Amino acid sequence: MFTRLRLACWSALLLALAPLADAQEEMTGTGDYLQSSQAFKDYMLQCAGCHRYDGRGLSHRGIPDFNQSIGLFTRLPAGRQYMIRVPGAAQSQLDNAELARVLNWIVAKYSPEDITPDYKPFTSAEVGASRRQRFDDVLQARTALTRQLQDMGLEPAPYTYGSMER
Ligand code: HEC
């Protein structure tokens, strides 16, 4: 009895969520991206193995926390490019549109308070333009961005990649 009731609840929930998946192309604001079941799935399958389901990463493995941090990078053009070009994102199996959607989801989910009012979501074209430019040195790029943000009085999550013992 209990199980059947639970099943009915899940079915109702899935039915209620289904139309949202079709609305993805028209998304604009940050909140919209949280409704994207595809972005959620892509994050969980392609990114969460390292970045964890709660976006907290693993500091002892050099994976930075997204919470109250990743949105800060969207304030700088070089920061947006960094988010696209970082190896875990650029070299994922996601196509440009999917990667743009996941990045938008990450910002909306873990760091919505850190963007500015003129924030624009990532687009497929923006991702395509930067994605192929591999970093020679990710650590150097991140360190430079950290300094720029700190000069603006902002503090991104600690970044330990490259400075830990392996
Ligand atoms: C194999 C582990 C791994 C996977 C999978 C992975 N990442 Fe990462 N990610 C890292 C590491 C390590 C860093 C920090 C080092 C670096 O910058 O490459 C990082 C950093 C980042 C950053 C910059 C965060 C900051 O504060 O500097 C972003 C954005 C990011 N990843 C996005 C993604 C996205 C999107 C996905 C999924 C499509 C993904 N990553 C998958 C390991 C991973």
CATH of the domain at 85: 1.10.760.10
Model confidence pLDDT, tens digit, residues 35-69:
999 999 999 999 999 999 999 999 888 999 999 99
Indicate the burial class of 32 (C-beta count within 10 angstroms; 0-12, 13-18, 19 or more).
middle
23 or 150, higher pLDDT? 150
Which residues have C-beta within 8 Å of that of residue 12, sequence separation ≥ 6? none
Task: Give the pLDDT confidence score for residue 60 in this predicted structure.
Answer: 85
pTM of the predicted structure, to 2 decimals: 0.86
Atom of ligand 1 at shortest range from CA of 94: 38
Model confidence pLDDT, tens digit, residues 104-127:
999 999 999 999 999 999 999 999
Taking 50 as the threshold, does the pLDDT of residue 162 lie above it? yes
What's the per-residue H, E or C state across 14-37? Answer: HHHHHHHHHCHHHCCCHHHHHCCH
- Average pLDDT of span 71-80: 98
Whether residue 11 is contained in a domain is answered as no
- Which two three-digit tokens encode residue 101? 């959607």
Taking 90 as the threshold, does the pLDDT of residue 160 lie above it? no
Nearest residue by C-alpha to atom 25 in ligand 1: 64
Show the ligand 1 pocket: residues with CB < 6 angstroms.
Answer: 46-47, 49-51, 62-64, 69-70, 83, 86-89, 92, 94, 102-103, 138, 142, 156-157, 159, 161
Q: Are 158 and 64 contacting, i.e. CB atoms less than 8 angstroms apart?
A: yes
Whether residue 10 is contained in a domain is answered as no
Atom of ligand 1 at shortest range from CA of 62: 12
Taking 70 as the threshold, does the pLDDT of residue 71 lie above it? yes
Whether residue 53 is contained in a domain is answered as yes
Please list, residue by residue across 38-71, b when 16 or more beta carbons sit within 10 angstroms of its beta carbon and e when fewer do: ebbebbeebbeeebeeebebeeeebbbbbbbbbb
Count of domains in the chain?
1
Average pLDDT, the chain: 88
Nearest residue by C-alpha to atom 23 in ligand 1: 83
Whether residue 129 is contained in a domain is answered as yes
Where in the sequence is the domain holding 82, given as residue range(s)? 27-151
Coil vs helix vs strand at 46: helix
